[in-house]
Amino acid sequence: MDAVELWAAVQLTALGGDTEGLLGAAAAAGLHLRQIEPLPGGFAARCAAWHYLPLAGLARRRRVRLRVTRRRGLWFRLRPLARRAGLWVGLAVFLPLLLWARGLVWAVEYPGMTPGQEARAAAALRTVGLEPGAQVTQALLTAGEYALLEGGEFAWASVNFFGGRLTVEAAPARDAPEIFSGNLQGLKASAAGVVTEINLKSGTPLVTPGATVAEGQTLIGTSRTERDGTLIYQPAAGSVLARFEWSAAHTQPLDSQSPALTGEADTRRVIRWAGRELVLPFGPGEDSGELAITRHIQPDLWGLPLPFSVEETTYYQQQPAELRYSDETALALARLACLQALEEEYPDAQLVAQRENVQRTADAVHYDVVYTVIADIAR
């Protein structure tokens, strides 16, 4: 198939009259006929569609009857569409709308970030309105950079936008060096125990490893005497690790009331596009008081991201329920409570040994424990 047939060509028959003269006149006039086949009383051929009208004029002079048997080419397929006014109106509206939509966020990229960093960066940008479907301005990009830096996770951030693509780049912040100010009154022992290690940063150590100290005893002082008797004052700073005993107690009831899921849930969706919101009339309101889990979705069409976002909140219905713990579960909860209390008071504690005392009654488990730990007692 050549270019003529690809665009517009007709297949015709010529019968009666002076068909041989028609062929000669067509050749003389530059009307190229192709695939000429003889027929009883005439011939069949093909020609370009724009040659048909001049050929028909020549045929009338020679009393030849022309008849189009088939139309071929893209022109004859597209011509019916030209008669549909709605198609052209839609095209005239779509093109300006597409150019305007270049100012909306179609896709967001986070080069060099881990999945966790991407999620936290996206949450920070949503607080200022930067998300798929947002209409971008320079002020909004600047606000997004400040939002990324406010969390303290990133030391440097850059938010750029071009052609519907939002590119978010950030460098993670490094831990600042620890700066100690020291204690001008000295560091004292928060518990009685046996010193195992001293890490001095400033001041004068008043105890040595292996020494037994009492609660409230000064461990690191703020002054020392030179050989000539001169007193030099320094703030006390450092840590003193000691082995000591720490006790805790907890009573865990066997019966408890807590909210339980009923198995039913409702969903509420908010569509955001170009600074506008559309709340779909499904699901409860924000103040329903139920367990709510929110996720943000960017729809796509066959892999092409669309310039709007959907905030989907699922509300899980709950109702109060009576729970009855077994003795083993209640004891495990009591142990957990005591360990949490130890961690709160001595976050660096290393557990060496423990002595437990468990008493069970009809409605509760009473748990007492004495931990032997190694921890920093300098306060």
pLDDT in tens, 53-86: 888 888 888 888 998 888 888 887 777 777 776 7
Which SS3 state, helix, strand or coil, does residue 119 take? helix
Cα distance between residue 29 and residue 11, in whole Å:
19
Question: Residue 219: which of 235, 201, 206, 203 has the closest Cα?
Answer: 206
Cα distance between residue 325 and residue 317, in whole Å:
23
Which SS3 state, helix, strand or coil, does residue 293 take? strand
The confidence score (pLDDT) of residue 99 equals 67
The confidence score (pLDDT) of residue 169 equals 92
With a cut of 80, say whether residue 358 has pLDDT above it: yes
Cα distance between residue 213 and residue 192, in whole Å:
5
- Whether 46 contacts 110, CB under 8 Å: no
Cα distance between residue 141 and residue 130, in whole Å:
8
Alpha-helical regions (H) of the chain: 3-7, 19-28, 52-61, 74-82, 85-100, 115-126, 138-150, 327-345
Question: Residue 232: which of 241, 222, 242, 240 has the closest Cα?
Answer: 222
Cα distance between residue 185 and residue 181, in whole Å:
12
With a cut of 70, say whether residue 181 has pLDDT above it: no
Sign of CA dihedral 269, 271, 277, 280: negative
Domains of the chain by range and CATH?
Answer: 3-78 (3.30.70), 102-172 (3.10.20.310), 187-243 (no CATH), 256-324 (no CATH)
- Whether 55 contacts 62, CB under 8 Å: no
Question: Residue 201: which of 216, 218, 185, 179 has the closest Cα?
Answer: 179
Q: For residue 283, give the DSSP letter.
A: S
CA distances from 136 to 140, 143, 212 (A): 6, 11, 67
| Residues written for the chain | 379
Bridge-partner residues for 144, per DSSP?
Answer: none
**Least confident segment among 10-14, 72-76, 152-156, 252-256:** 72-76
Identity (one letter) of the amino acid at 158? Answer: S
**Least confident segment among 142-156, 203-217, 282-296, 317-331:** 282-296
Cα distance between residue 42 and residue 20, in whole Å:
8
Give this prediction's pTM.
Answer: 0.56
The confidence score (pLDDT) of residue 289 equals 57
* Mean of pLDDT values over 307-312: 87
